[in-house]
A and B are shown apart, each in its own frame.
Chain A
Amino acid sequence: MRAFSYERASTTEAAAKAAATKEGAKFIAGGTNLLDLMKLEIETPTHLIDVNELGLDQIEPTPEGGLRIGALVRNTDLAADERIRRDYQLLSRALLAGASGQLRNRATTAGNLLQRTRCPYFYDTNQPCNKRQPGSGCAALAGFSRQLAVVGVSDACIANHPSDMAVAMRALDAVVETVQPDGTPRSVPIADLHRLPGDTPHIEHVLERGELITAVVLPKPVGGKQIYRKVRDRASYAFALVSVGAVIQPDGTGRVAVGGIAPKPWRDEAADGELPNGAKAVTAKLLTDARPTEQNAFKLTLVERTLSAVLAEARG
Chain B
Amino acid sequence: MKFDTPATTNPIDQLKVVGQPIHRIDGPLKTTGRAIYAYEWHDPNTRYAYGHVVGSAIAKGRIRSMDVTAARSAPGVIAVVTSDGIGELKKGEFNTAKLFGGTEIQHYHQAIAVVVAETFEEARAAAQLVKVDYAEEKGVFDLAAARDTAVKPEEDEPDSAVGDFDGAFSAAVVKLDQTYTTPDQSHAMMEPHASIAAWNGDELTVWTSSQMIDWWRTDLATTLGIDKEKVHIMSPFIGGGFGVKLFLRSDAVLAALAAREAKRPVKVALPRPFLMNNTTHRPATIQRIRIGAGRDGKITAIAHESWSGDLPGGGPEVAVQQTRLLYAGENRMTAMRLATLDLPEGNAMRAPGEAPGMMALEIAMDEMAEKLGLDPVEFRIINDTQVDPEKPERPFSHRDLVGCLRTGAERFGWQERNKQPGGRRDGNWLVGLGVASAFRNNLLVPSGARVRLDREGVVSVETDMTDIGTGSYTIIAQTAAEMLGVPVDKVAVSLGDSRFPVSSGSGGQFGGNCSTAGVYAACVKLREAAAQKLGFNNADDLIFADGEVRSGDRRMPLTEAAGDEGLVAEDSIEFGKLAETHQQSTFGAHFVEVGVDVATGETRIRRMLAVCAAGRILNPITARSQVIGAMTMGVGGALSEELVVDKERGFFVNHDLAAYEVPVHADIPHQEVIFLDETDPTSSPMKAKGIAELGLCGVAAAVANAIYNATGVRVRDYPITLDKLIKDLPELS
Task: Look across to chain B and name the residue whose beta carbon is closest to the beta carbon of A280.
Answer: B732
Which residues of chain A have C-beta atoms less than 8 A from B659's C-beta? 118, 120, 147
Contact A234 B649 (CB under 8 A): no
Task: Look across to chain B and name the residue whose beta carbon is closest to the beta carbon of A235.
Answer: B666
Give A201 to B727 CA distance when docked, in angstroms.
32
A295: min CB distance to chain B, Å: 8
B268: min CB distance to chain A, Å: 17
Whether A237 touches B732, Cβ cut-off 8 Å, given contacts A120-B654, A301-B727, is: no
Which residues of chain B have C-beta atoms less than 8 A from A124's C-beta? 273, 653, 655
Contact B648 A142 (CB under 8 A): yes
Does B224 belong to the interface (CB within 8 Å)?
Answer: no
Which residues of chain A have C-beta atoms less than 8 A from B29's C-beta? none
Give A235 to B722 CA distance when docked, in angstroms.
13
Select which of B663, B665, B723 is within 8 A of A146 by beta carbon: B723
Which residues of chain B have C-beta atoms less than 8 A from A143's C-beta? 646, 648-649, 653
Whether A1 touches B653, Cβ cut-off 8 Å, given contacts A234-B664, A235-B667, A236-B666, is: no
Does B546 belong to the interface (CB within 8 Å)?
Answer: no
Which residues of chain A have C-beta atoms less than 8 A from B128's C-beta? 2, 41
Contact B723 A298 (CB under 8 A): yes
Pick from B433-441, B569-577, B599-607 the stretch touching chain A.
B599-607
Contact B732 A305 (CB under 8 A): yes
Select which of A142, A147, A235 is within 8 A of B664 by beta carbon: A235
B534: min CB distance to chain A, Å: 58
Query: Chain B 639-665, CB within 8 Å of chain A: the 1/0 string?
Result: 110001010110001111011010111
Interface residues of A in 42-65 (CB under 8 A from B): none
Whether A236 touches B602, Cβ cut-off 8 Å, given contacts A2-B125, A118-B658, A302-B722, is: no
Contact A301 B663 (CB under 8 A): no
**Dominant secondary structure at the B interface:** loop
Select which of A3, A118, A121 is within 8 A of B653 by beta carbon: A121
Which residues of chain B have C-beta atoms less than 8 A from A234's C-beta? 639-640, 661, 663-664, 666-667
Does B726 belong to the interface (CB within 8 Å)?
Answer: yes
Which residues of chain A have C-beta atoms less than 8 A from B733's C-beta? 312
Task: Look across to chain A and name the residue whose beta carbon is closest to the beta carbon of B600.
Answer: A231
Contact A309 B599 (CB under 8 A): yes
Give A3 to B654 CA distance when docked, in angstroms.
28
Contact A233 B639 (CB under 8 A): yes
Contact A1 B124 (CB under 8 A): yes
Give A147 to B642 CA distance when docked, in angstroms.
13
Select which of B273, B654, B663, B721 is within 8 A of A144 by beta carbon: B654
Contact A306 B599 (CB under 8 A): yes
Give A235 to B57 CA distance when docked, in angstroms.
34
Count residues on chain B whose CB falls below 8 Å from chain A CBs: 43
Interface residues of B in 570-617 (CB under 8 A from A): 597-602, 604
Give A146 to B656 CA distance when docked, in angstroms.
16
Does A200 belong to the interface (CB within 8 Å)?
Answer: no
Contact B666 A309 (CB under 8 A): no
Query: Chain A 294-316, CB within 8 Å of chain B: the 1/0 string?
Result: 00001001100110110010000
Contact B653 A236 (CB under 8 A): no
Does A232 belong to the interface (CB within 8 Å)?
Answer: yes
Contact A302 B726 (CB under 8 A): yes
Whether A233 touches B726, Cβ cut-off 8 Å, given contacts A3-B125, A120-B653, is: no
Select which of A2, A118, A144, A309 is within 8 A of B732 by beta carbon: A309
Does A127 belong to the interface (CB within 8 Å)?
Answer: yes
**Dominant secondary structure at the A interface:** loop
Contact B600 A238 (CB under 8 A): no
Does B428 belong to the interface (CB within 8 Å)?
Answer: yes
Which residues of chain A have C-beta atoms less than 8 A from B599's C-beta? 305-306, 308-309
Task: Look across to chain A and name the residue whose beta carbon is closest to the beta carbon of B605.
Answer: A235
Interface residues of A in 84-135 (CB under 8 A from B): 118, 120-121, 123-124, 126-127
Which residues of chain B have C-beta atoms less than 8 A from A305's C-beta? 599-600, 726, 729, 732
Does A139 belong to the interface (CB within 8 Å)?
Answer: yes
Contact B602 A231 (CB under 8 A): yes
Which residues of chain A have C-beta atoms less than 8 A from B640's C-beta? 233-234
Which residues of chain A have C-beta atoms less than 8 A from B157's C-beta? none
Which residues of chain A have C-beta atoms less than 8 A from B732's C-beta? 279, 305, 308-309, 312
Give A144 to B642 CA distance when docked, in angstroms.
12
Query: Chain A 133-158, CB within 8 Å of chain B: the 1/0 string?
Result: 00000010011101100000000000
Which residues of chain B have C-beta atoms less than 8 A from A29's C-beta? none
Does A39 belong to the interface (CB within 8 Å)?
Answer: yes
Give A144 to B273 CA distance when docked, in angstroms.
16
Does A241 belong to the interface (CB within 8 Å)?
Answer: yes
Which residues of chain A have C-beta atoms less than 8 A from B664's C-beta? 234-237
Interface residues of B in 154-177 (CB under 8 A from A): none
Which residues of chain B have C-beta atoms less than 8 A from A39's C-beta? 124
Does B375 belong to the interface (CB within 8 Å)?
Answer: no
Give A126 to B646 CA distance when docked, in angstroms.
13
A91: min CB distance to chain B, Å: 21
Contact B57 A126 (CB under 8 A): yes
Which residues of chain B have C-beta atoms less than 8 A from A118's C-beta? 658-659
Select which of A1, A121, A142 is within 8 A of B125 by beta carbon: A1
Which residues of chain A have C-beta atoms less than 8 A from B58's C-beta? 126
Interface residues of B in 662-692 (CB under 8 A from A): 663-667
Interface residues of A in 250-299 (CB under 8 A from B): 279, 298
Contact A233 B661 (CB under 8 A): yes
Interface residues of A in 19-36 (CB under 8 A from B): none
Does B121 belong to the interface (CB within 8 Å)?
Answer: yes
Which residues of chain A have C-beta atoms less than 8 A from B108's C-beta? 126
Query: Chain B 120-137, CB within 8 Å of chain A: the 1/0 string?
Result: 010011001000000000
Query: Chain B 444-468, CB within 8 Å of chain A: the 1/0 string?
Result: 0000000000000000000000000
Contact B649 A309 (CB under 8 A): no
Which residues of chain A have C-beta atoms less than 8 A from B28's C-beta? none
Contact B667 A236 (CB under 8 A): yes
Contact B661 A238 (CB under 8 A): yes
Contact B722 A233 (CB under 8 A): yes
B711: min CB distance to chain A, Å: 14
Query: Chain A 227-253, CB within 8 Å of chain B: the 1/0 string?
Result: 000011111111101100000000000
Does B225 belong to the interface (CB within 8 Å)?
Answer: no
Contact A231 B649 (CB under 8 A): no
Select which of A3, A144, A301 is within 8 A of B726 by beta carbon: A301
Give A236 to B649 CA distance when docked, in angstroms.
31
Which residues of chain B have C-beta atoms less than 8 A from A139's C-beta? 646, 648-649
B670: min CB distance to chain A, Å: 13
Give A279 to B731 CA distance when docked, in angstroms.
12
Task: Look across to chain A and name the residue whose beta carbon is closest to the beta carbon of B121.
Answer: A1
Select which of A142, A236, A239, A308 is within 8 A of B665 by beta carbon: A236
Does B75 belong to the interface (CB within 8 Å)?
Answer: yes
Give A1 to B120 CA distance when docked, in angstroms.
10
Give A279 to B661 CA distance when docked, in angstroms.
30
Interface residues of B in 693-722 (CB under 8 A from A): 721-722
Which residues of chain A have C-beta atoms less than 8 A from B648's C-beta? 139, 142-143
Contact A123 B656 (CB under 8 A): yes
A79: min CB distance to chain B, Å: 17
A9: min CB distance to chain B, Å: 24
Task: Look across to chain B and name the residue whose beta carbon is closest to the beta carbon of A308.
Answer: B732
Give A142 to B601 CA distance when docked, in angstroms.
26
Which residues of chain A have C-beta atoms less than 8 A from B644's C-beta? 144, 146
Task: Specify which of B75, B599, B729 lies most central, judged by the most chain A CB atoms within 10 Å of its CB.
Answer: B599
Task: Look across to chain A and name the residue whose beta carbon is closest to the beta carbon of B639.
Answer: A233
Which residues of chain A have C-beta atoms less than 8 A from B598's C-beta? 309
Give A237 to B648 CA distance when docked, in angstroms.
30
Give A312 to B731 CA distance when docked, in angstroms.
13
A247: min CB distance to chain B, Å: 19
Give A233 to B655 CA distance when docked, in angstroms.
17
Task: Look across to chain A and name the residue whose beta carbon is closest to the beta carbon of B635.
Answer: A234
Interface pairs (10), CB distance under 8 Å? A144-B646, A235-B664, A237-B666, A241-B722, A279-B732, A298-B726, A302-B600, A302-B726, A305-B729, A312-B733
Q: Which 4 interchain pairs have the tightest Cβ spacing? A: A309-B599, A235-B666, A126-B57, A298-B723
Add 4 more A-B contacts to A241-B722, A298-B722, A306-B599 (CB < 8 A).
Answer: A233-B722, A235-B667, A298-B727, A309-B732
